[in-house]
Amino acid sequence: MLKLAGLCYKINQDSIHSSQLPPLDMLREEKIKGASVITVDQNRLQKYVAELLSSSSAAAEQHDQ
């Protein structure tokens, strides 16, 4: 725990980006075997995450230059 706490102090907070996974607009309510559950389209979510990571990587590369 102390190592994790130490790492938190070293991290440049300007470089931290956050996103909700999955985004609210991708959630949907369905009935499965009579139960109400919250689901998400896995293919759409994977595409979203890939785009999010690629844009984050591109921004990080530009920041490093």
Structural domain spans, the chain = 19-64
Q: Which pTM was predicted? A: 0.54
- Strand, coil or helix: 65: coil
Identify whether the C-beta of residue 48 lies closer than 8 Å to the C-beta of residue 23. yes
Q: Per residue of the chain (65 residues), what is the pLDDT tens digit? A: 788 888 877 877 777 777 778 889 999 999 999 999 999 999 999 999 999 888 876 665 565 55
Identify whether the C-beta of residue 22 lies closer than 8 Å to the C-beta of residue 45. yes
Q: What is the pLDDT of residue 57?
A: 67
